[in-house]
Amino acid sequence: MMFERFSVKGYGAIVTGGASGIGLAFVEALAESGARVAILDVDSISLGKQVDRLSSRGLDVRGHKLDVTDRKAVDQVFAEVSAEYGRLDVVFANAGIDPGIGFSNPDGSPSEAGAIENYEDERWNRTIEINLNGIFATIRAAARHMKRGGGGSIVVTTSIAAYLNEGMIGAAYMAAKAGAAHLARNAALELAPYKIRVNAVAPGFIVTNIGGGWLKQPEVQNSIGATVPIGRIGDADDLKGLALFLASRASSYITGAQIPIDGGVSLGKRPA
């Protein structure tokens, strides 16, 4: 049956940053399809709430409080989860932050705080630490366990910012996402002989809690949504189909890809 190729039933999966937004959509897509999912997140309150909510629906999820910048803790949690599940088939390296405005404000006016000459070390370092170094630590831990298990699928959440420049988005975010995208491709090449596939999803504007939830404001949604070729801003649920596709055998011959999921933003602005 064709649909069997999309099956993740019984898979052991890990999702970092899985207590909110895009990561939570990945968790739901996997768990609702019969996978066992470990949610790793630094926000213990959201983590507890989501684990309770999904468990009460009969889904097989567990939560681990984890900061992906803590390399030792990453290794420990991966060891624990792999031992508990007896296998590790799928890892979503998704945790990330938006450290604030770039060199332009949303209305196009220049932003003092985001200008490169004013860009603060603390903001730069924190972004690279979570959005790039955290992805490295996650891929490394995943590779160790998947090599032992004979294969798997790693999916990195990058962004259209990995290849498109946009003044609203900060310099550190751009650099971290481009780095994560290329790291994913390099890992894809290195790990292909071990039957480990590594792909990236590059979302456009998706309504989540990122950056304090600025994309939840109706006026921001309307103004940005009008420029998106498909005509609206995205919802985390829009990523579920792609998540299941990349996690499962349905994508068995795809590795090293970065798939935009952006309503066409990568193509340009919506034609009038």
Give yes or no for residue 258 binding ligand NAI (CB under 6 A).
Answer: no
Active site includes 119? Answer: no
CB of residue 195 vs ligand NAI: minimum separation in angstroms?
26
* The pair of three-digit structure tokens given for residue 174, joined into one six-digit string: 């751009």
Catalytic pick among 46, 173, 248, 251: 173
Report d(CA 47, CA 43) in Å as an integer: 6
Give yes or no for residue 100 binding ligand NAI (CB under 6 A).
Answer: no
CB of residue 70 vs ligand NAI: minimum separation in angstroms?
8
Question: Three-state DSSP class for 54?
Answer: helix
Give yes or no for residue 142 binding ligand NAI (CB under 6 A).
Answer: no
Give yes or no for residue 208 binding ligand NAI (CB under 6 A).
Answer: yes
Give yes or no for residue 221 binding ligand NAI (CB under 6 A).
Answer: no
Q: Smaller CB distance to ligand NAI: residue 12 or 204? A: 204
Is there a contact between 265 and 205 (Cβ–Cβ < 8 Å)? yes
CB of residue 173 vs ligand NAI: minimum separation in angstroms?
7
Helix (H) or strand (E) holding 157: strand 152-157
Q: Where does residue 27 rank: exposed (0-12), middle (13-18), buried (19+ CB within 10 A)? A: buried
**Which residues, at least 6 apart from 228, have a Cβ–Cβ distance to it below 8 Å?**
204, 205, 234, 262, 263, 264, 265, 270
Judged by CB under 6 A, which of 15, 29, 42, 143 binds ligand NAI? 42
Give yes or no for residue 260 binding ligand NAI (CB under 6 A).
Answer: no
Choose one: 42-50, 56-64, 77-85, 189-197; the region binding ligand NAI (CB under 6 A).
42-50
- Cα dihedral sign for 31, 33, 36, 42? negative
Give yes or no for residue 75 binding ligand NAI (CB under 6 A).
Answer: no
Give yes or no for residue 210 binding ligand NAI (CB under 6 A).
Answer: yes
Active site includes 253? Answer: no
Number of residues in contact with ligand NAI under rule CB under 6 A = 30
Judged by CB under 6 A, which of 20, 33, 255, 258 binds ligand NAI? 20
Active site includes 177? Answer: yes
Query: How long a stretch of residues is the chain?
Result: 272
Candidates 185, 178, 17, 195; CA nearest to 94 is 17
Report d(CA 43, CA 171) in Å as an integer: 25
Judged by CB under 6 A, which of 31, 35, 54, 68 binds ligand NAI? 68
Catalytic pick among 33, 46, 82, 159: 159
Give yes or no for residue 133 binding ligand NAI (CB under 6 A).
Answer: no
Report d(CA 89, CA 7) in Å as an integer: 12
Is there a contact between 5 and 250 (Cβ–Cβ < 8 Å)? yes
Judged by CB under 6 A, which of 12, 21, 179, 225 binds ligand NAI? 21
**Which residues, at least 6 apart from 146, have a Cβ–Cβ distance to it below 8 Å?**
88, 89, 91, 152, 154, 191, 194, 196
Active site residues: 159, 173, 177
- Applying CB under 6 A, the residues found at the interface with ligand NAI are 16-17, 19-23, 41-43, 46, 66-69, 94-97, 130, 134, 157, 159, 203, 205-206, 208-210, 215
